[in-house]
Structure 1
Amino acid sequence: MLIPLAAALLIQPGTRDGSAESRGSVDTALVLAIDVSNSVDARRYRLQIDGIADALDDPSVQEAILGGPRQAIAISVILWADKPSFSIPWVRIASAADAQALAGKLRRLARQGGEFTCVAQMMRFVADKITPQIPMRAARVVLDVSGDGQENCNPAAAPASVRDELVAIGLTINGLPILEGSEAATLAGWYGENVVGGPGAFVLPAQGFEDFGRAFRQKFMTEISAWPAAPARLPSRLAAREQP
């Protein structure tokens, strides 16, 4: 059963007043889901990790992170293949130093093993285990999926079905398909039909693993600059849970 997204609700459009509520909130809570299946060898894994870390170290990216109404975002990291792993729990980034610290943690993150590309299982994990436990208020929640292949785990529920459940509880899911290997010609279309969804969702392909860093930075800048004009509307039973 899908656990409700109790954390996606939120405060009124932010002021820069330094209040406790403002300090504890973020413009975007972003889940980075990184493919580590059998096709992703050590070099390809490093290209993904370094691409993300390099973006976080970039002063222009840091400026964008701090440029929203709440002057902060939150990031968590999942490594996924046969089974997803919550490899870096939620980190609030409210300064250049915070971004640099997360970049360093990413560079030290050991690759986990895996054979298959279990997209639906990863999204189910996000729905059931990750989004219900966001430890801060977020004006929007985004799942950022990168990978070089289509679903091949024969899941009980198709990826598009789980995607629709996530969208229904308020997530936006963006895709970064890595166009390298036997599925390169069709992968972007498959992501568009089965992975992405929600307000403002988009697919931004990387033209192979060597292009991952460029594509990630472009996508990341788009995601963290897309601030909502108004807070999300929660089901009444969830909003009530957030009352002080």
Structure 2
Amino acid sequence: MRLQWAVISSFCALGGITFAQQYPLAVDLELVIAVDVSYSMDVEEQQVQRQGYVAAFRSPEIVNALRGGALGKVAVTYIEWGGSAVQVVPWSLIDSPESAARFADALQRQPVRRISFTSISNALAFARALFRSNGFRASRRIIDVSGDGPNNAGAPVPVARNAAVAEGIVIDGLPIVLKGPPGSVSFAEIDVYYEKCVIGGEGAFILPVTDITQFPQAIRKKLLIEISGLKLTEGRGQQMRLVQYKPYNCLVGEELQEQSIGK
């Protein structure tokens, strides 16, 4: 049997296919956490958000949620994005308190970075690519994207959203409705922007954050819903909101960027 597996592995390698691609590990969920680190996010907001994810993966609630799945395991990776995107923590199998803690520790050790511009579309495209050869297989794939500003670089965000949804990927949003430049309408309505232009797929939802102190609870709540695969109902205020496709100017970020350049 050992020789048989060695022959199979060699065949896959010679054919340009890795063993992980040929025989991916089955998990309940493949999750990309995509976090905005553009310059519209101040350092305090970035640190609080980062610590919110670290604390979430150290919490018993998250471990209990993943154990409640049919297989009791999920695959998670963490990326940060602005105009471009960076994979901060590689794909990790989380199936126990120990593996969840290792993921949290790996994230804790990473420096806080900042990236110019805001390209949600590039972040979604980057995340899509990460699913293709991650060595895992799940019936559910989710991109969990957070941010406080509209797309202002790269392709229009609905193009990237629709491409991901066409592949069966669900995009959930954590819009950060804190503060923006005086008179900035786009920042004030970033929750509406995320709802109309960013999220998509079956059961997609947003969970707005309107105060910096809400980050830890919102992050944990959102991860619990995604890992558990719960179905949501329409809510109010800080409750989850399901995607509703209605006419909206999804190029508002690009237009504001052009206006700022023209001044």
TM range (shorter): 0.7 to 0.9
Question: Which structure has greater helix proportion?
Answer: 2
2:170 — aligned with what? 172
How far apart are the structure 1 equivalents of 2:53 and 2:80? 13
Give CA deviations for 1:13-66 in whole Å, capped at 9, x if unaligned: xxxxxxx98xx3211110000110002232211111110111111112210111
Structure with bigger gyration radius: 2
Q: Secondary structure at the match of 1:34?
A: strand
- 2:217: which partner in 1? 214
Aligned mate of 2:226, from 223, 228, 239: 223
**Cα offset for 1:109?**
1.3
Higher relative contact order (CA 8 A, sep 6+): 1
How well do the aligned residues superpose, as a CA RMSD in angstroms?
1.7
Specify which of 186, 200, 205 is matched with residue 202 of structure 1.
205
Show the counterpart of 2:138: 138
Q: Tell me by how many angstroms 1:126 deviates.
A: 1.8
Residue-pair matches, total: 204
The answer (yes or no) to whether the contact 2:54–2:107 under 8 Å persists in 1 is yes
User: Quick one: distance in 2 between partners of 1:119 and 1:57?
Assistant: 28
Q: 2:130 is matched by which residue type in structure 1?
A: I
How big is each residue's C-alpha offset from its partner over 1:144-181, in whole Å with a ceiling of 9 and x where there is no partner?
Answer: 0001111122x2x3101110010001100000001111
| TM-score normalised per structure 2 | 0.74
Conserved in 2, the CA contact under 8 Å of 1:26 and 1:138? yes
d(CA) in 2 for partners of 1:98, 1:85: 22
Q: CA deviation at 1:208?
A: 2.9
Shift of 1:227: 7.0
1:178/1:212 contact within 8 Å kept: no
Unpaired runs of at least 5, structure 1: 1-19, 229-244
| Number of the residue aligned with 1:110 | 111
| Residue matched to 2:8 | none
Q: Whole-Å Cα distance in 2 between the matches of residues 54 and 38 of structure 1?
A: 24
Structure 1 segments, 4+ long, off by >3 Å, are none
C-alpha contact (below 8 Å) 2:63/2:96 kept by paired residues: yes
Q: Which residue of 2 aligns with 1:10?
A: none
- 1:212 is displaced (CA, Å) by 1.3
Percent identity over the alignment is 33
After superposition, give the CA deviation of every residue in 1:50-93 in whole Å (9 maximum; x if it has no partner).
Answer: 10111111112210111100100110011101210011110000
- CA distance in 2 between counterparts of 1:141 and 1:191 reads 19
- Counterpart of 2:146, as a letter, is S
Work out the CA distance in 1 between the residues paired with 2:230 and 2:91.
19
Alignment-mate amino acid for residue 170 of structure 2:
T
SS at match of 1:115: coil
SS of the equivalent of 1:205 reads coil
CA 1:28/1:175 → structure 2, altered by over 3 Å: closer, same or farther? same
Determine the structure 1 residue equivalent to 2:53. 52
CA distance in 2, matches of 1:124, 1:63: 31
Residue pairs, 1:56-135, within 5 angstroms: 56-127=57-128, 129-135=129-135
1:113 & 1:204 partners in 2: Cα distance? 23
TM-score (norm 1): 0.79
Preserved CA contact (<8 Å) 2:34 2:143: yes
Q: Does the residue aligned with 1:216 lie in a helix, a strand or coil? A: helix
For 1:208, give the aligned amino acid: D
Q: Report if the CA contact (8 A) 1:33-1:144 is conserved.
A: yes
**Structure 1 residue 104: Cα displacement:** 1.0
Deviations 1:105-160 (A, max 9, x none): 11111122212111111112222x3111121111211000001111122x2x3101
Aligned 8 A contact 2:88 2:107 in 1? no
